[in-house]
Chains A and B, each alone.
Chain A
Amino acid sequence: QQQVKQSPQSLIVQKGGISIINCAYENTAFDYFPWYQQFPGKGPALLIAIRPDVSEKKEGRFTISFNKSAKQFSLHIMDSQPGDSATYFCAASKGYGQNFVFGPGTRLSVLP
């Protein structure tokens, strides 16, 4: 019940295209869902996060879509750029003071 599933494992997108990464969870006690971006040799950096009381959140080129009934959420990267090439992790937690449960990651490559 603590697991967070993530797909695809890897993704190749042309510059200017849309990158879509999907995650699913089982534990209905989760109420905070962040996405992290990680470059090689660096720590994860928060990209965008959502709570289950909203179905969508947009920040610049990044959008999270959240489906509470299906227990799924996704990250959309619009107008993907080569600089977006990194590994993306979805995560879930039960709130402040609770550890994050991470998905296995998606390696995104944006071709110039």
Chain B
Amino acid sequence: GAGVSQTPSNKVTEKGKYVELRCDPISGHTALYWYRQSLGQGPEFLIYFQGTGAADDSGLPNDRFFAVRPEGSVSTLKIQRTERGDSAVYLCASSSPGLAGSTDTQYFGPGTRLTVL
């Protein structure tokens, strides 16, 4: 079946602008995660959704970052007043209970590369 998809694949914006990044998880996956990956580093956790609610948003760096998942499927990561330091690859992952031996596995999308000029 289809994997996790993310759009756009690349986003270039100017400092101070607002951006939205979209994630389509694997169908039926109830858990959805956002990570941020800076160049040459491992992914860093931002926020985790279980269904429609944000179960853990402790990784969001500040109040310019916000994410929603209104119907428990697609999620949108929103960044206000973008700064050059926000430039990174934003990764989305999903997982689901019920698959024997793989409940903890997270499946990642290809990411959105955000460049803030």
Contacts and interface: CB of A to CB of B under 8 A. Distances in A.
Given A43-B4, A99-B45, A102-B42, A93 B108 contact: no
Interface of B: 4, 31, 33, 35, 40-45, 48, 50, 55-56, 59, 91, 95, 97, 103-111
A103 B91 CA distance: 16
B107 A46 contact: yes
A49 B104 contact: yes
Nearest to B44: A102
Interface in A61-94: 89, 91, 93
A49 B105 contact: yes
A16 interface: no
B34 to A, nearest CB: 10
B45 A96 contact: no
A30 to B, nearest CB: 11
A99 B95 contact: no
Contacts of B48: 97-99
Interface in A3-43: 6, 32, 34, 36, 41-43
A8 B55 CA distance: 34
B115 to A, nearest CB: 14
